[in-house]
Amino acid sequence: MMSSPTSQRIRKLPEERRAEILSEAANIALAEGLERITLRAVADRLGVRPGLISHYYPAAEDLVIAAFVLAVSEEREELFPADGDPVARLAHLVSRMEGDGAFELTRLWLNARHLCRFSPALAEALEHQEHLDRQRLTSLIEDGMATGDFTVGDPLAACVRIFVAIDGVGAYVNNTQAFTHEAFTHFVSDVAEWSLGMRAGELRTAVDQVSGGDVRAKAKDDAGR
C-alpha cells in the first residue's frame, strides 16, 4: 500500500516572510480599509496561521501602520514619475487625482486621517508621509520654475495649495452619487494653474492628453488579454 504524500510547508527567509505579510496587509488597506487589517485576515489570505503573523507583528497596530506606510509609499512612486517635463509630470499627478485612478489611495488617506485621532503612532506616521509628499511635489514645482513652466514666488506655498485642493476633492470620495460639475471635476487643475502662474486651461489640456493616453493604453492592454 502506497503512503499518501505529505504536504511540506515551505520555509521562507524572515525578510521574505515579513515582506509578504506587509504586502498583503497593504492590499487589504487599499481595498477594504485599515480597520480590516487583522492578524487573522492577513493569515487567511496567506494560508498560514495567525500565530505566524503575530510572530512578526506582535501588535496589530504596528502592522496597520506599516501597511499604511507601504501603501502610500508605493503610490507616491506612481504619482510622481521621474521622467518627463514638469508640466507632463504635474498633469500625470492631477489626472490621477481628478479621475478614478486614485480612489483607493484617496479613501486610504481619508481613513487614516480619521483613525489617527485614536492612534498617536499612526498620526506620527501620517505626518511623516505628508512631509515626504510635500517634498516630492515641491521638488517638481522647483523643476518647473527652472524651466520657466511655472511662475511661483513660494514653491512650498504652491505645494500646500495643491494638496489642499486634492484633499478637498478627496473628501467626497465615499459619496454614492457622482457629481460632475466642472467646477468640481477640474478643481485641482484650476487651483494648480492659479498657484503655479500657468495660463488658464493650460494644465487642463495637459491633463486631458495624459488621461486620453491612459485610456488608450488600457484599451490596448485589454485587447491583448
Strands of 155-201, DSSP E: none
CB 20 within 8 Å of CB 12: yes
**pLDDT over 50 at 22, yes or no:** yes
In a domain, 1, yes or no: no
Instruction: Report yes or no on 118 lying in a domain.
Output: yes
Residue 208 lies in a domain: yes
Same domain, 185 and 132: yes
The parent domain of residue 167 ranges over: 80-224
Q: Which pTM value belongs to this model?
A: 0.86
Average pLDDT over residues 155-176: 95
Report the alpha-carbon distance of residue 87 to residue 206 in Å, rounded: 7
Q: What is the mean pLDDT of the chain?
A: 90
Number of structural domains found in the chain: 2
Which secondary structure element, helix H or strand E, spans residue 35, and what is its range?
none
Let me know whether 21 and 106 are in one domain: no
Is 125 in the same domain as 86?
Answer: yes
pLDDT exceeds 50 at position 216: no
What CATH number did the domain enclosing 17 receive? 1.10.10
Answer yes or no: do 90 and 62 share one domain: no
